[in-house]
Amino acid sequence: MSIQEIDRKVKELRELQAMVEEATAQIEAIKDSIKLKMMDEGTEVLQGNGWKATWHTVTTSRLDGNALKAAHPDLVAQYSKATSATRFTLA
């Protein structure tokens, strides 16, 4: 592939990424308007023709790695493993 072809691909990629960002912003705006309606009605569930929206608090429990590392650095070292991955970036 020539550099001109890569230039075209990079331009196309950037245009597609901009479209994704715009679509994501529109999606979030629509979600926010639905959530606002749910807040106005004081409900966690809305249903319509072929759809159901729920919006509620979910509580989870996660390991606090920083606290564990501070309290038991030996255990963290003993049970930690290195991983590697490839990463593509375009600037």
CA dist., res. 31 & res. 25, Å (int): 10
Whole-model pTM: value is 0.75
Strands (E) located in the chain: 45-48, 51-54
52: helix, coil or strand?
A: strand
pLDDT, tens digit, 9 for 90 and up, residues 42-71: 999 999 999 999 999 999 999 999 999 999
pLDDT, tens digit, 9 for 90 and up, residues 2-18: 999 999 999 999 999 99
Domain boundaries, the chain: 3-47+56-79
